[in-house]
Structure 1
Amino acid sequence: MKLAAAEIDLSALAHNLRCIKEMAPSARVMAVLKANAYGHGLVTIAQHLQDADAFAVARIDEALALRAGGLTNPIVLLEGFFNASDIPILLANNFQAVIHNEEQINALEQAQLDGPIAVWLKIDTGMHRLGIEPDQLERFYLRLKNSPNVKPNIQLMTHFSCADDKQNPKTKQQIKAFLKLVDNKQEQLCLANSAGIIGWPMSHGDWVRPGLMLYGISPMVAKVGHNHGLRPVMKLTTKVIAIRRVPANEPVGYGGRWQSDKDTMLAVVAMGYGDGYPRHAKNGTPVMIKGQRFGIVGSVSMDMITVDIGDNQAGVQIGDEVEMWGPNLPVEEVAIYAETIPYELLCNVTPRVSYEYLNAKK
């Protein structure tokens, strides 16, 4: 019996890319594939996103894995490079680097290269994580322009800190600040992440860089993917491996953190934090069995979770499939119960879970 499994619906992935292009019809698409394509499988996902104009990853090893997988699309390193010794690797593999500090500019200027590389200059407009200060823009931009190691067209970018919340004025402030800074630059602009694409059309610019929404998940506060016409790509499932009758007032699981006030039935399912399911998921976190919602109870163990199925009128049996999240149970909802975000749930799926890719183009 196949137990913990992640079904990856490649037709949903293609659908979501089409939705993004419809939302931002004038922009090119940089598909964000960092963190193993948000837990979906880096190379396979990239192979089915070749209609994107570019890929973006966080680390050079991710970019090299894409090249090793036969992908020829432009690849942008969102954190740039960390050592001067990386720069020849960027050139050899046609990687593009996001430049966000003076140390990187110094290294580029001093590198002995056989040709120039493409760069994106990142400006900090309020995220205060990576990016040059606004008052450094003119000086650093001219240094890059004058370097023979840098291709002539220097794309300009920033990153939003609060775009998931339409009520927060921060994003409008960031957009206004960025556009004012770059007003005299005839360069391509990139502002919008997934939340920017959905919530802030004025930020679409020349490039958009969707991440979470590619996988059918909403980046917006109190929304789920289907609110934006998106389809979840991952369906995380397992099987019922036991059914138990538990008397009233008997504690269940490690620490006895749950007990029923009446006799009930429990389904034991083969899923736990060893598969990446959040150990801190609360009692009542939903799962789907036989088209019905039931709540998990007791502590999430390494390999098992108990689910209260009441008097089992649904007729749950050993071997039945359990959907932990997916098309019938949004991962956004599970994240709320676990007091986390969908990003973390998707990225934490462990190698013990078997992956099956469905609906690939023939």
Structure 2
Amino acid sequence: MSRPIIATINQKALKHNLSIVRSLTPKLKIWAVIKANAYGHGINNVWSLSDTDGFALLNIEEAVMLREHGWEKPILLLEGFFHPKDLYIIDRYQLTTTIHSQWQIKALENIRLLNPISIYLKINSGMNRLGFHQKLFNTIWNKLIYLKNIRDITLMMHCSNTNNISKVNKYFKNIQNLIKGRNCLCSISNSACLLWHQTVSYDCWVRVGILLYGASPSGNWFDISNINLEPAMTLSSKIIGIQTLKTGDTIGYGDSYTVKKPQRIGIVACGYADGYPRHAPTGTPVLVDGNMTHLVGTVSMDMITIDLTNCPRASIGSNVELWGNIIKIDQVAKAAGTLGYHLMCSLAPRVPIKIIC
């Protein structure tokens, strides 16, 4: 039989989460963000999000795949194009592309397209990654509106710190200044802004990622526990071995855990090569046959060790939830000093995937 670890992708949960997002912003259009292979869920596994108004991603090959599978609604390339010749593909498949660099503008000026395309003009809002400086907005806007290859322009920005109220207020003020006196479409809000800083007076499109997959943009499950999201990914396995240890015995590489009293230990078929966080410490929550317990010792490449004190009936073959419906991915990520985003995207290709429709 196959190794027992498995990742279950719940398409019903994805559809449910989209409906929750829709209820939070009923008047706006939604970009369902499916970059990073749909946050590790598999781009081929998220068609239950088809009620969205558009898909946003990075790779032009994935955009073409969506079109060839019958997706007719908008597709946004979040990082834009990487070579001028990509514009021919964008034209052919009627994709929306982000524009964030002068060379991209020159490419649009110099190429002959069959049809004008929609663009998202990326302005650097303080992340200092991609985007034009805000002082250049007027000049660039006035240049782009006269390019024959452009159908329409949407202003795109990204808030770098939604926990800092003064920075959020500055962010909104900058938006007001940029669009003042213009009939300007905007895509401003991500998941965090949608939840905690409603910008409905600016947005026509919101870009939603992590909420669709049932985790929190803050990394704290408690922050979204009141909006009824459902985890879309469950990572589960089984106990494949049991050790009964005496006081003073040690567990794992580097003798990282010392047994303080006689203790039963379960060995689970899951390790960092499966995508479980390498730095998850002793105490990270785990569920065994419905009973809450925790990790002990160091995470190995292929196995973890867990305390079975609270699981007296646990045996070889007992079911283990690493994250999912009960053990929230945000809880595991927080214990390991990272985010749910990271764990989703780190799911290893060797982990089999089961789809719940």
5+ residue gaps, structure 1: none
1 CA distance for matches of 2:310 and 2:290?
16
CA shift, 1:221, in A, is: 5.5
Q: CA RMSD in A?
A: 1.5
Q: Deviations over 1:148-206 (max 9, x none)?
A: 1111x21111001112x2x5321121011112211222121110000011011135611
Secondary structure at 2:308 match in 1: strand
What amino acid sits opposite 2:188 in the alignment?
Answer: L
Deviates more, 1:60-69 or 1:258-267: 60-69
5+ residue gaps, structure 2: none
CA shift, 1:281, in A, is: 0.7
2 CA distance for matches of 1:357 and 1:103?
42
Moved over 3 A (4+): 221-225
1 CA distance for matches of 2:94 and 2:154?
16
Secondary structure at 1:227 match in 2: coil
CA shift, 1:261, in A, is: 0.6
Q: Deviations over 1:34-80 (max 9, x none)?
A: 001001111220x2111111110022233233234332221100000
TM-score by length of 1: 0.94
Match in the other structure for 1:258: 257
Match in the other structure for 1:353: 351
2 CA distance for matches of 1:121 and 1:67?
23
2 CA distance for matches of 1:13 and 1:35?
16
Secondary structure at 1:129 match in 2: coil
Equivalent residues of 2:32, 2:209 under 8 A apart: yes
What amino acid sits opposite 2:192 in the alignment?
Answer: A
1 CA distance for matches of 2:321 and 2:205?
36
1:82-121 matches, within 5 Å, as: 82-121=82-121
User: Is 1:211 paired with 2:212?
Assistant: no
Q: Deviations over 1:244-289 (max 9, x none)?
A: 1111111111111111111101100000011111111111111101
User: Is 1:190 paired with 2:191?
Assistant: no
Match in the other structure for 2:21: 20
What amino acid sits opposite 1:193 in the alignment?
Answer: N
Match in the other structure for 1:336: 334
TM-score by length of 2: 0.95
1:46-85 matches, within 5 Å, as: 47-85=47-85
What amino acid sits opposite 1:198 in the alignment?
Answer: L
Report how many aligned residue pairs link the two structures. 354
CA shift, 1:312, in A, is: 4.0
What amino acid sits opposite 2:301 in the alignment?
Answer: M
Distance 1:169 1:229, change over 3 A: farther
User: Is 1:132 paired with 2:132?
Assistant: yes
Match in the other structure for 2:166: 169
What amino acid sits opposite 1:277 in the alignment?
Answer: Y
What amino acid sits opposite 1:318 in the alignment?
Answer: I
2 CA distance for matches of 1:344 and 1:62?
21
Equivalent residues of 1:264, 1:311 under 8 A apart: no
2 CA distance for matches of 1:5 and 1:99?
39
1 CA distance for matches of 2:70 and 2:42?
15
Deviates more, 1:167-176 or 1:108-117: 167-176
Equivalent residues of 1:239, 1:319 under 8 A apart: yes
